[in-house]
Amino acid sequence: VGKRLCKCVRSEDTVARMGGDEFIVILAGLASKQHAITAAAHVAEKIRNSLSEPYQIHDRELFTSASTGIAFFPGDGEDPKALLQNADTAMYHAKKAGKNNYQFYTSAMNVRALERLEIESAMHKALTKNEFELYYQPIVDVETRDLVAVEALVRWHHPKQGLMMPDKFIEIAEESGLINPLGAWALRQACEQMVLWQKAFSER
């Protein structure tokens, strides 16, 4: 991957591996913002095409893709840390947009990123404050019309936003690792509810 990235840029540009599967590309000496935008888009497209080509590793053919976030100095950050953070935010949006594409950083992305951080932080507290609840949806056999099972659906009684549906927080839970304690809680709740139902029906 590193060798392919180096072939996508000029000799005066910089390619560095940050760790894992993350790389940094620095395009230097661009005359204007418009020139920088054009050059960044051109390089990002070259990277996308280059990395989509198969890799021959021993006798295996492997495939990968690249999600690229782009930030500009000084508008998107006046120091390396800010630029990296904003490029990383843009990269996350590229992944969310379906991967194998590139996104330019915008200030609106930071607003959404902060919202996600707030939800993640609130989820930690919600697990200890019993703010989650399971709703049970019956599953019926269409031929016999018998109730054969129920589907457990999690809801979050958020203290500020009210009742939140899973599409608002499940993805964040998966990315943050909170899906594990949330899943364990849901399983325990469903099992306890099943015991109550079995007891109620056996007494009839």
Q: Would you please indicate which residues are annotated as catalytic (active-site) residues? A: 21
Cα–Cα distance, 202 to 204 (Å, whole number) = 6
CA angle 121, 67, 94 (to 5 degrees): 55
Nearest partner of 69 among 45, 90, 42, judged by Cα: 90
CA dihedral 164, 106, 74, 82 (to 10 degrees): 20
Give CA separation, 24 vs 9, 91, 139, 142, 198, in Å: 12, 11, 50, 55, 58
How many other C-beta atoms are found inside a 10 Å radius of the C-beta of residue 40?
19
Cα–Cα distance, 33 to 197 (Å, whole number) = 65
